[in-house]
Amino acid sequence: MIGNSQENNLFCAKTFECVGLLENEDDDRATKYAKYYLENIFKTFISNLRLNRILNLSYLYDFNVASYTCKLTASTPENSDLEDFDINNHAHIKITLNPAGINITFTINNQAYDKDRLINNAITLWYPDDQERLFNLNYPESFISKKNLSSTQNNLKKLVNYSLYLSDFLDNLTDKSSFNNKGIKIFHKIGKTEILESSNNRIIAQFIRIFLEFLPLLILAGLDDPIPAINKYLSYRDDYFFYSLENCSNRIGIDQTELQRWVNNINRKGQIILQGPPGTGKTFIAKKLAKHFTRGRDGFSEIIQFHPSYSYEDFIQGIRPRSTNGQLTYDLVPGRFLEFCKKAESYKDTCVLIIDEINRANLSNVFGELMYLLEYRDQEINLAGSQEPFKIPENVRIIGTMNTADRSIALVDHALRRRFAFIKIAPNYNILKRYHEDDEINFSIDQLIQVLQDINTMINDPNYEIGISFFMIPNIEDNIQDIWEMEIEPYLEEYFYNAMDKIEEFRWDKVKLKLGLNTDENN
């Protein structure tokens, strides 16, 4: 695991050392430095969250014995005199750094008017007079998951025994009797060991996710009219932090409903293969799907490419020569997939491995015991080399890409096909058109699309169609001739090697006329 002990990271060993200095009741030079250091750490951290895109926030800092607290509220005092502003009478998010780790708490005391505002806004949103004001907050990305509630709120403990949608929590708020003479306190703890053992980016992402879970409550409690802030919150969450299916759909040009089917199958099966002819954007789509699964979550993605020389030793485990102190040794070392799975075990959310050109390797040889584990995800098996038990972690997903024009597709046997869900990717001409819609070029993209459609009609085999990625480059007008003569024509010559007369009408000297390029313009 990547450590987080470097001093240039926000929350490192030095940070906790400064917290320890706060135990010194004397306001000496070391204590002053610790306060200065911690305050700057939190200012930098909060700035990185970019919460000012959603709310005008006040930041109050409080140094106690062996703890440092930063409080954020959406209720900014009119005169901005924070010294006379009692934040405890307002809903706020409190970050407390102590020797054991970091606590993040959403708090409203019983006497605060913000408690009634939170409840009334929840009622307005859930039972609106104007149905257009009802916002869809019920996302998988919008939950308050497995938080600890104040022990005095026994009636709400049932809400934190499982992942809880924000709508479920707010629905409970609408029952005012649940909160008579009670404050509201929800907190999340991150231990010191977890902080120091995780990378800086991973810790920051975890903080942001917690804040995105608490911010809707702060908005509803702090603002009389929460709708504008909710709009900003949803835009921030979907565009900056998460990578929603809607954004993914807009980027790759595939209907959101169809993408949801793909996501459902990835989660159901655990592994899918995107198959299609060359140039259809299979790898591009795989990367965007991986981004949807991992961005803003406690997960990651990696990509590898198979080739004919790829082996079981490369992918699972094998003996590798190593030199130690001038002595050559042969050690059993894990391959890429075992390393990936070991890393994924320390993450809480989905981790995606993209295997590009998956059919170019001898899959039966490369996968080995994985053939069994892909079908029985809940079981483990002893590996041939180490004899150690191995199981694919539950949070691992595999996305493969397969070029259907590659003759090695014959190596993909039925046993392997049964273990993957297959998704066909065909040329999407609308993406090509949208890619160049703002470009000023000297030929018609519509005519280029028509030529490609004519060629694919002549090929008459969806496994060998010509895709669009050949032409999705900047300065297409300066490169179109080279692309056609050096990439498209050789492909057609290989496919129609015994019927060369068919491709004569698709030579560049004739295609350029169809695109509206005359000889002078071409020269």
Average pLDDT over residues 157-162: 38
pLDDT confidence of residue 133: 43
Most confidently predicted of 253-257, 350-354, 359-363, 500-504: 350-354
- Based on the fold, state whether residues 227 and 185 are members of the same structural domain: yes
pLDDT at 477 exceeding the cut of 70: yes
pLDDT at 64 exceeding the cut of 80: no
- Based on the fold, state whether residues 419 and 433 are members of the same structural domain: no
pLDDT at 493 exceeding the cut of 90: yes
pLDDT confidence of residue 511: 93
**Structure tokens given for 205:** 């992402």
pLDDT confidence of residue 174: 61
How many angstroms separate the CA atoms of 47 and 252, rounded? Answer: 32
- Based on the fold, state whether residues 412 and 372 are members of the same structural domain: yes
How many angstroms separate the CA atoms of 289 and 252, rounded? Answer: 10
pLDDT at 6 exceeding the cut of 70: no
Whether 25 is in a domain gets the answer no
pTM given for the model: 0.78
SS3 assignment, position 471? helix
- Based on the fold, state whether residues 254 and 353 are members of the same structural domain: yes
How many angstroms separate the CA atoms of 348 and 340, rounded? Answer: 14
pLDDT band at 3 (very low <50, low <70, confident <90, very high): very low
Q: How far apart are the first and last CA of the chain?
A: 57
Whether 307 is in a domain gets the answer yes
Whether 447 is in a domain gets the answer yes
8 A C-beta contact, residue 61 and residue 39: yes
Residue 279: left (phi > 0), alpha (psi -120 to 50), or beta? left
How many angstroms separate the CA atoms of 60 and 64, rounded? Answer: 13
Average pLDDT over residues 346-351: 90
User: Which of 41-55, 68-82, 142-156, 461-475 is least confident?
Assistant: 142-156
The residue among 7, 149, 38 whose CA lies nearest residue 102 is 38
Domain hosting 465: range is: 429-515
Boundary of a domain, candidates 424, 454, 481: 424
pLDDT at 182 exceeding the cut of 80: no
Q: For residue range 76-97, list pLDDT tens digits in order.
A: 444 444 455 566 677 888 888 8
pLDDT at 425 exceeding the cut of 70: yes
How many angstroms separate the CA atoms of 376 and 392, rounded? Answer: 9
Q: For residue range 102-159, list pLDDT tens digits in order.
A: 888 888 877 767 888 888 887 777 655 544 444 444 343 343 444 444 443 444 444 3
CATH of the domain at 255: 3.40.50.300
SS3 assignment, position 148? strand
pLDDT confidence of residue 157: 41
SS3 assignment, position 267? helix
- Based on the fold, state whether residues 207 and 290 are members of the same structural domain: no
pLDDT confidence of residue 471: 92
How many angstroms separate the CA atoms of 185 and 109, rounded? Answer: 8
pLDDT confidence of residue 480: 92
**Structure tokens given for 2:** 């990547």
pLDDT at 290 exceeding the cut of 70: yes
**How high is the mean pLDDT of the chain?**
79
pLDDT confidence of residue 431: 87
Question: Which residue did the predictor score with more confidence, 65 or 421?
Answer: 421
pLDDT at 519 exceeding the cut of 70: no
Provide the b/e sequence for 126-159 (b: ≥16 CB within 10 Å).
Answer: eeeeeeeeebebeeebbbbeebebbeebeebeeb
Looking at the chain, the number of H-run helices and the number of E-run strands are 21, 17
8 A C-beta contact, residue 100 and residue 81: no
- Based on the fold, state whether residues 236 and 260 are members of the same structural domain: no
Boundary of a domain, candidates 241, 261, 296: 241
- Based on the fold, state whether residues 236 and 252 are members of the same structural domain: no
Structural domain count, the chain: 3
pLDDT band at 510 (very low <50, low <70, confident <90, very high): very high
8 A C-beta contact, residue 109 and residue 89: yes
User: Which of 8-17, 162-171, 261-270, 357-366 is least confident?
Assistant: 162-171
pLDDT confidence of residue 170: 62
For the chain, percent of residues with pLDDT exceeding 70? 77
How many angstroms separate the CA atoms of 489 and 491, rounded? Answer: 5
Question: Which residue did the predictor score with more confidence, 212 or 252?
Answer: 252
Residues 6+ apart with CB under 8 A from 36: none
Boundary of a domain, candidates 368, 402, 424: 424
User: Which of 104-108, 173-177, 231-235, 293-297 is least confident?
Assistant: 173-177
pLDDT at 489 exceeding the cut of 70: yes
User: Which of 24-28, 447-451, 459-463 is least confident?
Assistant: 24-28
Whether 39 is in a domain gets the answer no
How many angstroms separate the CA atoms of 461 and 424, rounded? Answer: 13
pLDDT at 220 exceeding the cut of 60: yes
Whether 490 is in a domain gets the answer yes
Between strands 271-276 and 421-424, the pairing is parallel
**Radius of gyration of the chain from Cα atoms?**
29
Q: For residue range 13-23, list pLDDT tens digits in order.
A: 888 888 888 77
pLDDT band at 274 (very low <50, low <70, confident <90, very high): very high
- Based on the fold, state whether residues 179 and 296 are members of the same structural domain: no
Average pLDDT over residues 479-486: 94
**Structure tokens given for 38:** 């911690």
Whether 412 is in a domain gets the answer yes
- Based on the fold, state whether residues 469 and 452 are members of the same structural domain: yes
Question: Which residue did the predictor score with more confidence, 68 or 205?
Answer: 205
pLDDT band at 490 (very low <50, low <70, confident <90, very high): very high
For the chain, percent of residues with pLDDT exceeding 90? 29
User: Which of 37-46, 123-132, 445-454 is least confident?
Assistant: 123-132
pLDDT band at 407 (very low <50, low <70, confident <90, very high): low
pLDDT band at 27 (very low <50, low <70, confident <90, very high): low
